[in-house]
Amino acid sequence: MRLFKKSKSGNILIFILVLGMMALLAPLGNTAEEDNMGRDLFAQGNSAYAKGNYDQAIVHYQAALAREGYTSSLLYNLGNAYYMKNEMGPSILNYERALYLDTGNIDIEANLSLARKKAGLGTPGQASWKTFFNGLTLNGWTWAGVIALCTFSLMILVNGIRPGILRGAKLKMMVCLCLLLFMVAGGGMVAQHQDLNHWVITGKNARLRVSPFDSAAASGVVKSGKVVNLADTYEGYVFIKETNGQSGWIPEDAVSAVLPTDGNHQTQTSLPQSTVGEINRGGGESDVNKT
């Protein structure tokens, strides 16, 4: 009788453990299923693009983006699809976003340059120091600063616990390196923070108005694909400033932020780095690059 009770208790314990394991493994199964769905949408977009069905490709890419978050390869392909539809505003927007996630990618830079040329926009000039700080994103420079500060603090802590363990030229060199990295990271954060306010004109022939009202007089037209700075907002209108000094109010649905604030997440590993598109497809006319 006692043996039976022990066996019954053991069975109950095993049953509870099995339920616990199932509960732990269930989210993993859901995650795998969601990852496969994102990959399927991405592959369907590539297939539609290859067939020349760019509208359908955009639908699949947008669905994959909503599920997977922002990845450089997805944004790059989305920019290519808009490019082939001759919609330079959305194309440039997605190239800009892709380049922010994959700084220095020559394929993205090449296609972005082609899109700007096709839209009648010049390549914006950039100071050499700004090019250096574009080597990392805002998150990258922030982490560099955190690492430098933590390393410096750790050295101070170790030297306090074990006086003399770090001294002389070795200590001075390490302190100087940490301070130098911290200052450079600070400069990178300041430089990259300016990009947070960059927006792209996605509407066609967006009219600048002197005030944020439909009845206000127009003061000019901004080309689709133009990168501008957002200065103010008012009841469905935004006040923008161009690099050439021109400014005015345009409808907020005519611009999109390079760094979106819609709560979508960034991920670089959920999708394969598979890209589509071609360059120099004949006649010397460059279209979009392929990797």
Residue type, 190: V
250 lies in a domain?
Answer: yes
Question: What per-residue confidence (pLDDT) applies to 101?
Answer: 85
Question: What per-residue confidence (pLDDT) applies to 93?
Answer: 94
Considering the domain architecture, whether residues 247 and 171 belong to the same structural domain is answered as no
CA distance 150 to 173: 16
Considering the domain architecture, whether residues 8 and 115 belong to the same structural domain is answered as yes
Domain edge (last residue) among 195, 223, 238: 195
266 lies in a domain?
Answer: no
Beta strands at 198-201 and 247-251: parallel, antiparallel or unpaired: unpaired
Q: What CATH number is given to the structural domain containing 247?
A: 2.30.30.40
| Closest to 227 measured CA to CA, from 107, 148, 136, 112 | 112
Q: How many helices (H) and strands (E) does the chain have?
A: 8, 7
Question: What per-residue confidence (pLDDT) applies to 206?
Answer: 81
114 lies in a domain?
Answer: yes
262 lies in a domain?
Answer: no
**Does the pTM exceed 0.85?**
no
Considering the domain architecture, whether residues 208 and 245 belong to the same structural domain is answered as yes
Question: What per-residue confidence (pLDDT) applies to 23?
Answer: 54
142 lies in a domain?
Answer: yes
Query: Which residue range is the domain that position 187 belongs to?
Result: 129-195
Considering the domain architecture, whether residues 102 and 33 belong to the same structural domain is answered as yes
Domain edge (last residue) among 169, 195, 221: 195
Q: What CATH number is given to the structural domain containing 86?
A: 1.25.40.10
Considering the domain architecture, whether residues 119 and 145 belong to the same structural domain is answered as no
Radius of gyration of the chain (CA): 26
Question: What per-residue confidence (pLDDT) applies to 16?
Answer: 55
183 lies in a domain?
Answer: yes
Question: What per-residue confidence (pLDDT) applies to 54?
Answer: 95
Considering the domain architecture, whether residues 108 and 136 belong to the same structural domain is answered as no
**Average pLDDT, consecutive stretches of 10 residues, N- to C-terminus, the chain (291 residues):** 48 55 51 63 91 94 87 93 94 92 87 92 61 67 81 74 66 78 76 70 85 86 84 85 79 85 47 45 43 41
Domain edge (last residue) among 80, 101, 123: 123
Number of domains in the chain: 3
What DSSP string describes 126-174?
--HHHHHHTTS-HHHHHHHHHHHHHHHHHHHHHHHHSTTSS-HHHHHHH
290 lies in a domain?
Answer: no
Considering the domain architecture, whether residues 158 and 251 belong to the same structural domain is answered as no
Question: What per-residue confidence (pLDDT) applies to 83?
Answer: 95
Question: What per-residue confidence (pLDDT) applies to 153?
Answer: 79
